[in-house]
Structure 1
């Protein structure tokens, strides 16, 4: 639908978004190691080993140490740092770079890291609960990033964001309309997506977004940056 380019919300508490930057570096590094220059078979092995496989997570299916290099519950974290292609990676990192710095400003460095990981875990869990018999691995940062978008929406709804609409049209728009529209599209896609588009983890996006809304609302009194929330 759109790619974010820039927002107009300055940092108020932290000097620099160190955790956001570190997350981007880790994600890019992991992709270069696991997906950028490897074949499909190697990428699939990495995804099934470190990604969330719903049927294995829920039913404790033992496929051996080769296919399960880490305990299944731990994949709810490891899957957040793997991507299946350049566009998958670039899209997630663009959203993270534009919106996460201000959320990190509100939560503080450590609080933001914890918030990010929890949103990713919630995203993986909802995806698993909605597709309990799926043997396809879930990978990508989009669930955790969705939580960041929800937090930004609550904290800075009036912020102006430059977006690239339909990958062609640069447009300034309020964060409220941009991010509300993004979430509405995730909900709608569950019902209208084509067979190929169903491979996108829509439920993970929704789970991460809802987790971000809930956590930000519950913790609003403890945030470093006070808003009208």
Structure 2
């Protein structure tokens, strides 16, 4: 287990990570609507969650479901969460890593990046899962893409985080995120909790790594060296 807490990397290209905050806000609103709204949890998950068998046409939901076309649930499921812990965990990752990735991409490209990673994660899950009738929900795939982007952009930045059973450590991103990735990989191929879409995490991470060089701002080697020196300076 790994939970990021703080990285201390200043924003260089914007004052406020508006896109990151908006995505967190939408996830929180969706969570409140799921558990406290008029539709109820089952209707929200059935209507907006991603069900692979429905997308592939091997299963049909009851009349009235889904509330959006099956193809669109590749995106709508990203904003739903099954528990408060599920929500807090994903939003914590997005809060710590998202602002700096958004800073490197810009508001609109960051939102596009997040959605593409989340949708790719949903498809990765769909092609591998042995339970295609089971709804997939959660921002984990999109968040995994953000984590991959952060690793590429800020590999040596030191991150405060809680490891294993709550051990606080201050380690470079390539160690902390590497540890997180190994956990995802092991759980996916060695048998982790069946209720978690581990392959969605891996799919989002891989697509995030592919998209980061394409969506980041134009690379300036002089500015990059200055920023690297600032980030590595003693604090």
> What's the TM-score, normalizing by structure 1?
0.90
Q: How does 1:32-71 map to 2 (within 5 A)?
A: 32-35=32-35, 37=36, 42-59=40-57, 61-71=59-69
Q: Distance in 1 between matches of 2:34 and 2:21?
A: 20
Q: How does 1:43-192 map to 2 (within 5 A)?
A: 43-59=41-57, 61-131=59-129, 134-192=132-190
CA contact (8 A) 1:13 1:224 kept: no
Q: Secondary structure in 1 aligned to 2:66?
A: coil
Computing the radius of gyration from Cα coordinates, the structure with the larger value is 2
Q: Distance in 1 between matches of 2:79 and 2:194?
A: 21
Tell me how far 1:62 sits from its aligned partner.
3.4
Greater mean deviation of Cα atoms: 89-98 or 60-69: 60-69
1:213 is the counterpart of 2:209? yes
CA contact (8 A) 2:113 2:215 kept: no
Greater mean deviation of Cα atoms: 79-88 or 8-17: 8-17
Q: Distance in 1 between matches of 2:217 and 2:24?
A: 28
Spell out, residue by residue over 1:94-114, the C-alpha distance to the aligned partner (whole angstroms, 9 max, x if none). 000000000000000011011
2:200 is matched with which residue?
Answer: 204
Greater mean deviation of Cα atoms: 213-222 or 64-73: 213-222
Q: Secondary structure in 1 aligned to 2:45?
A: helix
Tell me how far 1:166 sits from its aligned partner.
2.4
1:30 is the counterpart of 2:30? yes
- Structure 1 portions without partners, runs of 5+: none
Tell me how far 1:223 sits from its aligned partner.
5.8
RMSD: 2.3
1:16 is matched with which residue?
Answer: 16
> What's the TM-score, normalizing by structure 2?
0.88
